Amino acid sequence: MLALFCLAVFAAFGVFYFQHWVVQKPFGIILFIGEGLTPSRLAATRVFAGGADALLSLDSMPHLALVRNYSNDFAAPDTAAAAVAIATGKRINNKSIGTPSPNLFELARRAGRATGLVTDGKLTGAVPAAFYVHASEPATQTECARLLAESSTIDLALGGGAQDFLPESKNGARNDQRDLLSEIRRKGFDLARTKADLEAIPAWRRPKVFGAFANAELGYSDQLEARNEQPSLPDMVRRAIELLQYNRGGYLLVVDARLMRKAAEQNDAEHTLAATVELDRAVAVARRYAGEKSTIVVCGDVGVGGLHLNGSPFRTDRGIAILGLNSAGDPWLSWASGPHGAKLYGAAKVAAQQSPPPNGSVVEPPQEPAAFYAPAALETVEDTVVFATGQGAEAIHGAIESTPIFQIIRDSL
C-alpha cells in the first residue's frame, strides 16, 4: 500500500510539473497573411458580408493588436518587404525579396514539423517567396519557381502560377526549357492540377504534395467556370490541415490571401470585399479542423488602395446593396488611388473640367472613383491588424511592430 501511495504521489507530481513547468508547444501553427487587411477593410467587409452588426470569424479571436508597419527605407512597405518582416523578423528595403536569415519554414523543419504553403495567388508571388527565397535583390517569378522546386523545406504547396514552372514549349513562361512540375513529381511529390486531384490524395502518410491549379492567380469566387476545377482558399486550407496533421511532430502552415490585393489594385471593391470574406471563411475552417491545441495567427501585410465605404448605408444593407451609387447619386465606395482616378491634376485638371465635353456628350464618372490615378492602386501608410488564438497568442495585444509576429511563431515551434 505504501508503494502504491508513493507511486500515486510521484505520478501526481509529474503531471503537475508537466502542466506548470514544462514548456508545451502547439501541435499545429497556422499563419494567415491577408494582403491589404487593415481596420478600415474589416469594417467594410462586415457590412458587405451581412450588415453593420454582422460578425466575422476574426471578431471572435481573443487576441488582437494594431501592427505598426514600415520597411527599412520607406514608411509604407511593399508586399515583399512586409512579408519578409513576418517570415524572418528582419526589415529590408522595398523591392528586395529576402534575407540571409533563416525563415520560419527552415526553423520549423529543424524542430521536426511538417510545413505547408497555401495561396490563392501565385506560388511564385512576393508573399510566398518570402518563405523560401534568400536573395537580397529582386528575383523574377520564374527564378522563384526554380528555388521553390529545389527547396527541401516545404512539404506541401498549393496555389497558382503553373506557367512559371513550365517551359515555353508547354505554354509556360520558362525560357530555359525546364519542366519543373515534372521534376517535382520525380522528387516523389503528388502533383495536383485540379480540385479533384487534391481531394484524391490519401491523408494517411507524411505529405509531399504540390498543387498548381491555374497558370496565374486562382479565380474569384463568382468565376464559376474556373471554380469548377480550382479549389477555394477554404478548400485548400482544410485539405492542407488534413494532410499535414499526420506528422507526429506537428506542422506549420502559411496561408497567403492574395486575391483581395489583386482586386484592390484594380479598384474592384466587390471582389476585394468578397475575397476578404473568403479569407474569413478560411480562418473559420482552420479553427474547426486544427483544433484547440493549435495556434492561429491572422495578420495584414500592408494597406493598399485606401478603400472606404461612404454615404451612410442602412444598418441592414449588405452585398451588392452597397455597390454603385446611393440614392443621392454619390458613390458608396471610393478609393485613394488606382485606375479609377483622374489622370489630370492641378491647372491641367481645372482646364479640362471647364471645357465642355465633345459633341455635348455626358462623361459618367466611375461608380468607385479614386482620388489619384495610378495604373494599380498604391500602398498606403497605415496600420494593419493581427488576430490570434491559441498558445502564445497572449503576446499579441495593444500596438506592436510587424517583426514580433515572427518571434511569436518562432517561439511556438
**pLDDT tens track, the chain, 413 positions:** 666 655 654 554 443 433 434 348 999 999 999 999 999 999 999 999 999 999 999 999 999 999 999 999 999 999 999 999 999 999 999 988 878 999 999 999 999 999 999 999 999 999 999 999 987 766 899 999 999 999 999 999 999 999 999 999 999 999 999 999 999 999 999 999 999 999 999 988 778 999 999 999 999 999 988 888 999 999 999 999 999 999 999 999 999 999 999 999 999 999 999 999 999 999 999 999 999 889 999 999 999 999 999 988 888 989 988 988 888 888 899 999 999 998 755 544 544 444 555 555 544 557 899 999 999 999 999 999 999 999 999 999 999 999 999 999 999 99
Q: What is the pLDDT of residue 325?
A: 85
Q: What are the structural domain ranges in the chain?
A: 28-307+376-412
Whole-prediction pTM value?
A: 0.90
Residue 17 is predicted with a pLDDT of 37
Q: Hey, what long-range contacts does 378-381 have (CB within 8 A, 24 or more apart)?
A: 378/304, 378/305, 378/336, 378/337, 378/338, 379/76, 379/77, 379/78, 379/79, 379/302, 379/303, 379/304, 380/38, 380/76, 380/302, 380/303, 380/304, 380/305, 380/306, 380/336, 381/70, 381/75, 381/76, 381/303
pLDDT given at position 105: 98
pLDDT at 177: 92
Contacts with 260 (C-beta within 8 Å, 6 or more apart), sequence order = 34, 35, 36, 37, 41, 272, 275, 276, 279
Bridge partner list, 118: 158, 255
Asked if the 28-307+376-412 domain carries CATH number 3.40.720.10, the reply is yes
User: Do 252 and 410 form a contact (C-beta atoms < 8 A)?
Assistant: no
Spatial CB neighbours of 223, under 8 Å, sequence gap ≥ 6? none
pLDDT at 48: 95
